[in-house]
């Protein structure tokens, strides 16, 4: 009996029960929201968030990463491979800050901000740029430091190997 | 569908309509050979799509990152689970803090709603709601990089081919839409709300609250469905062991059809721990960029991107404002020298109290925060009349519910309703001054309420009327 169910359904009866319960909860929650009207607007936001992420955001950042790596290798050769994550980290963090704080950085909140606080919305673009420049500087310094350390270490290793005759 | 090729057609017989040598109609077997094989369920029922994936992301060879695999997804999922549970619980606390079962506190119909589930105890320290709501916002923000990484790690699943092979898989994929849509919807609406930008028509409160239920139910389901996979990944690869691998030691997980590991992995350009460090760095950046507005004081300034991370001058009234007097249009009514507070008590008995009369009553000073649902807070020293004293003045000695009404004529928060415990709390005030000075117009002159552990908007400004109802 269970085996036949499994074959037809593709999983255990518990799997089906769990999904039925969860979908009942979804129906309850959605009907509470949609009771307020604006059905199309709400569904567009709910589904749109997932679609925008999956078919716009992911391809865009994947493409930027790929192009950056290709052009970096073209310009600086294979040594760019060691530098890529010193570019990626500040770029990713800066992009996420922009994504999250775009309403204040790009000024979408300007009117409501003034009504709420009594002050104009400004300074956020500057702060975001400062943070971004700061992160790239720190990242560059870390990379430079790593390169210098690596070179010193390899010099030392060469000196050591020159002094002590190689054993065959 | 690809056009059929023409291997069976004879060269010397042109396929013209009037031609004598019309090719014989293909047999059923030949048609079958030309059509792509249909995907089938385990029990052999054909599905409405071919067995072979279309080109591009539907083919396993398309996805090449060597980091993808069950361990990375399990690890990110475990972190998300903790973050989301904290967000959900603090969200429930905030919902209950509005006392949605009283008066018009709930800004949308109460029909079919659950009762408030996690109520903060009345005697709790006054900073507790500021803390839980600050946590709600901060955790929500630091979840963003983790959820982005989690979705990146499972993106090949979106293009899995065939789209489903059994009813179970179809249901699972629909529930994943509720999970991903719900998670991104909660984060997006929450993040835009703290920046007071509302580019939609639906009610934020309703959509964010019930959206939270959709998300948590989908997550609970996902947890049980994926638990065996997660346990297997941790058992086979260790919970933390893959974190020890540097770039040179980073190897892809073995490929399994339908799994997350790539079929043809590229060489790694970052280690798994490097990726997780980047995610953690982004979360840390969001934390530092915002948390100062939840704590206030000198820390407010270091949160460079927090919507309430700015300090506007000094002075007793120079703290964060939510809705200026000018914006809500109460400047005239609130500045009226003949202002008198309407106090309604038992049996509808009404008295009027001028500000001078209120000031002649026993004054009490309390240190209390305004803790906004948007996650910012500001703690000040408020002086005024205790709500319990006003209740007794209205002629009620026992428990009473209190409705307060602002002089403002519009907006959902021109009124609030407090529970008997809140009215009787020794810290609950009708404040007349703050930090030793009269309230400014923007902070609620001539009088405002201030209570411990209520959301900021329920500390009603420009109080025009107070009605006590025996409970």
Shortest distance, CA B201 to any CA of chain A (angstroms): 6
Give the dihedral sign, CA B1/B7/B8/B11: positive
Higher pLDDT, A164 or B50: B50
Is the bond preceding residue B25 a cis peptide, omega within 30 degrees? no
What distance in Å separates the CA atoms of residue B214 and residue B207, rounded to the nearest whole number?
10
pLDDT of residue A77: 86
Going by C-alpha positions, the residue among B358, B366, B374, B369 that lies closest to residue B323 is B374
Candidates B410, B423, B412; CA nearest to B454 is B423
pLDDT at A164: 63
Taking the Cβ of residue A109 and every Cβ of chain B, the question of whether any pair is shorter than 8 Å is answered with yes
Give long-range contacts, CB 8 A cutoff, 24+ apart: B53-61: B53/B161, B53/B162, B54/B161, B56/B159, B57/B156, B57/B158, B57/B159, B58/B159, B58/B161, B59/B161, B60/B156, B60/B255, B60/B257, B60/B262, B60/B263, B60/B264, B61/B263, B61/B264
Supply the angle between the helices A124-163 and B272-290 in degrees, to the nearest 10: 140
pLDDT digits (tens, 9 = 90+) for B434-464: 999 999 999 999 999 999 999 999 999 999 9
Gap from B337 CA to chain A (nearest CA, Å): 24
Number of H helices, E strands in chain B: 12, 12
Query: What is the model's pLDDT at position B12?
Result: 44
CA–CA separation, B75 and B83 (whole Å): 13
pLDDT digits (tens, 9 = 90+) for B246-304: 999 999 999 999 899 999 999 999 999 999 999 999 999 999 999 999 999 889 999 99
Res B380: pLDDT: 98
Q: What is residue B114's predicted lDDT score, i.e. its pLDDT?
A: 86
pLDDT band for position B42 (50/70/90)? confident
Using a CB-CB distance cutoff of 8 angstroms, which residues of chain A are in contact with residue B210? 29-30, 32-33
Nearest-CA distance A12 → chain B (Å): 9
The mean pLDDT of B131-137, rounded to a whole number, is 98
- What's the token pair of residue A37? 């009207």
pLDDT of amino acid B11: 44
For the cut 90, the answer to whether the pLDDT of residue B423 exceeds it is yes
Which residues of chain A are within 8 Å of residue B220 when distances are taken between CB atoms?
A: 22
Do the strands B377-386 and B429-434 form a parallel or antiparallel pair, or are they unpaired? antiparallel
pLDDT value at B23 more than 80? no
Q: Which two tokens stand for residue B41?
A: 């369920």
A125 contacts on B by Cβ (under 8 Å): none
**What is the interface pTM, i.e. ipTM, of the complex?**
0.92
Chain A residues 80-99 within an 8 A CB cutoff of chain B = 81, 84-85, 88-89, 92-93, 96-97, 99
Query: How many beta carbons lie within 10 A of that of residue A2, not counting itself?
Result: 8
Task: Using pLDDT thresholds of 50, 70 and 90, give the confidence band for residue B9.
Answer: very low
Q: Is A93's pLDDT higher than 70?
A: yes
Q: How is residue A10 written in tokens?
A: 């593709």
Residue A110 touches partner B, C-beta closer than 8 Å: no
Rounded to the nearest angstrom, the minimum Cα separation between A60 and chain B is 12
Give the 3-state secondary structure percentages of chain B, helix then strand then coil, rounded to 5.
40, 15, 45
Handedness of CA A64, B141, B273, B223 (dihedral sign): negative
Q: Is residue A15 over pLDDT 80?
A: yes
Task: Say if B200 is an interface residue toward chain A (CB within 8 Å).
Answer: yes
**pLDDT, greater one: B21 or B190:** B190
B181 with A26: Cβ contact below 8 A: no
Q: What is the average per-residue pLDDT within B305-318? A: 94
- Over residues B382-391, the mean pLDDT reads 98
Task: Give the mean pLDDT of A118-145.
Answer: 96
Distance CA(A98)–CA(B273), nearest Å, equals 24
Question: Which two tokens mark A51?
Answer: 């679609």
Kindly report whether the global pTM for this prediction surpasses the value 0.90. Answer: yes
- B182 pLDDT band, cuts 50/70/90, is very high
What is the C-alpha to C-alpha distance for residues A148 and A155, in angstroms, rounded to an integer?
Answer: 10
Give the pLDDT confidence score for residue B274 in this predicted structure. 97
- A98, B82, B191 from B196: Cα distances, Å: 16, 27, 9
In this prediction, residue B107 has a pLDDT band, given cuts at 50, 70 and 90, of: confident
How far is residue B69's CA from residue B253's CA, in Å, rounded to a whole number? 6
Mean pLDDT, to the nearest integer, of A78-95? 93
Nearest CA in chain B to A23: B175
Fill in the DSSP letter of residue B426: T
Contact present, B300 and B289 (Cβ < 8 Å): no
- Judged against a pLDDT cut of 50, whether residue A148 lies above it is answered with yes
Least confident piece of the model among A9-23, A35-49, B443-457: A35-49
Return the pLDDT at B369.
98
| Model confidence at B206: pLDDT above 50 | yes
Query: In the beta sheet, which residues pair with residue B450?
Result: B429
Average pLDDT score over chain A: 92
| Nearest CA-CA partner of B343 in B404, B397, B401 | B404
* Residue scoring higher pLDDT (B105 or B6): B105
With CB atoms and an 8 Å threshold, state whether A104 touches B305: yes
A156 falls in which pLDDT band (50, 70, 90)? Answer: confident
Specify the 3-state DSSP secondary structure of B360: helix
CB contact under 8 A, A103 and B442: no
Q: Check pLDDT > 80 for residue B14.
A: no
Q: Is the pLDDT of residue B112 over 80?
A: no
Q: What are the backbone angles phi and psi of residue A75, rounded to the nearest 5°?
A: -80, -40
Q: What is the pLDDT of residue B439?
A: 98
């Amino acid at each position: 009996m269970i085996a036949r169910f499994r074959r037809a359904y593709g999983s255990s009866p518990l799997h089906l029960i769990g999904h039925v319960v969860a979908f009942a909860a979804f129906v309850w929650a959605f009907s509470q929201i949609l009771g307020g009207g604006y059905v199309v607007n709400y569904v567009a936001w709910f589904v749109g968030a997932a679609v925008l992420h999956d078919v716009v955001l992911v391809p865009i950042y994947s493409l930027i990463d790929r192009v950056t790596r290709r052009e970096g290798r073209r310009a600086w050769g294979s040594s760019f491979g060691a530098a890529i994550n010193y570019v990626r980290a500040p770029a990713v963090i800066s992009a996420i800050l922009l994504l999250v704080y775009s309403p204040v950085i790009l000024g979408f909140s300007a009117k409501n901000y003034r009504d709420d606080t009594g002050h104009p919305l400004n300074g956020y673009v500057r702060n975001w740029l400062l943070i971004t420049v700061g992160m790239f500087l720190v990242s560059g310094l870390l990379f430079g430091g790593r390169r210098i350390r690596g070179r010193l270490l390899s010099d030392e290793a060469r000196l050591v190997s020159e002094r002590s005759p190689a054993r065959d | 569908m690809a056009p059929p090729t023409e291997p069976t057609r004879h060269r010397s017989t042109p396929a013209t309509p009037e031609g004598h040598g019309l090719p014989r109609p293909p047999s059923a077997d030949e048609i079958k050979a030309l059509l792509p094989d249909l995907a089938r369920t385990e029990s052999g029922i054909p599905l409405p799509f071919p067995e072979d994936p279309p080109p591009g992301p539907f083919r396993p060879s398309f996805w090449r990152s060597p980091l993808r695999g069950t361990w990375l997804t399990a690890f990110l999922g475990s972190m998300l689970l903790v973050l989301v549970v904290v967000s959900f619980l603090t969200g429930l606390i905030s919902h209950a803090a509005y006392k949605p079962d009283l008066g018009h506190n709930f800004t949308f119909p109460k029909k079919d709603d659950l009762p408030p589930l996690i109520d903060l105890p009345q005697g709790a320290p006054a900073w507790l709601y500021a803390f839980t709501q600050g946590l709600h916002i901060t955790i929500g923000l630091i979840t963003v990089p983790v959820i982005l990484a989690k979705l990146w790690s499972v993106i090949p699943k979106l293009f899995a081919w065939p789209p489903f092979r059994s009813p179970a898989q179809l249901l699972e994929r629909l529930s994943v839409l509720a999970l991903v849509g719900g998670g991104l919807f909660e984060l997006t609406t929450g993040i835009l709300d703290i920046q007071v930008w509302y580019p939609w028509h639906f009610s934020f409160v309703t959509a964010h609250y019930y959206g939270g239920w959709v998300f948590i139910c989908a997550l609970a389901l996902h947890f049980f469905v994926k638990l065996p996979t997660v346990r297997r990944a941790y058992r086979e690869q260790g919970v933390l062991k893959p974190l020890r691998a540097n770039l040179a030691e980073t190897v892809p997980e073995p490929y399994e059809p339908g799994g997350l590991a790539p079929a043809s992995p590229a060489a790694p350009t970052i280690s798994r721990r490097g990726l997780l460090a980047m995610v953690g760095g982004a979360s840390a950046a969001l934390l530092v960029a915002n948390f100062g507005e939840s704590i206030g004081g000198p820390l407010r300034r270091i949160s460079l991107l927090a919507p309430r991370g700015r300090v506007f001058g000094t002075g007793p009234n120079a703290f964060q404002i939510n809705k200026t007097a000018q914006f809500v249009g109460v400047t005239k009514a609130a500045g009226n020298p003949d202002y008198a507070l309407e106090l309604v008590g038992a049996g509808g008995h009404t008295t009027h109290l001028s500000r001078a009369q209120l000031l002649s009553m026993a004054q009490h000073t309390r240190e209390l925060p305004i803790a906004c649902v948007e996650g910012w807070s500001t703690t000040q020293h408020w002086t005024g009349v205790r709500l319990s004293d006003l209740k007794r003045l209205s002629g009620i000695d026992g428990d009473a519910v209190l409705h307060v009404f602002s002089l403002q004529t519009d907006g959902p928060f021109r009124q609030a309703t407090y529970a008997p415990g809140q009215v009787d709390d020794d810290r609950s005030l009708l404040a007349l001054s703050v930090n030793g000075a009269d309230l400014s117009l923007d902070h609620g002159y001539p009088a405002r309420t201030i209570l411990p552990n209520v959301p900021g908007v329920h500390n009603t400004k420009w109080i025009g009327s107070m009605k006590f109802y025996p409970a």
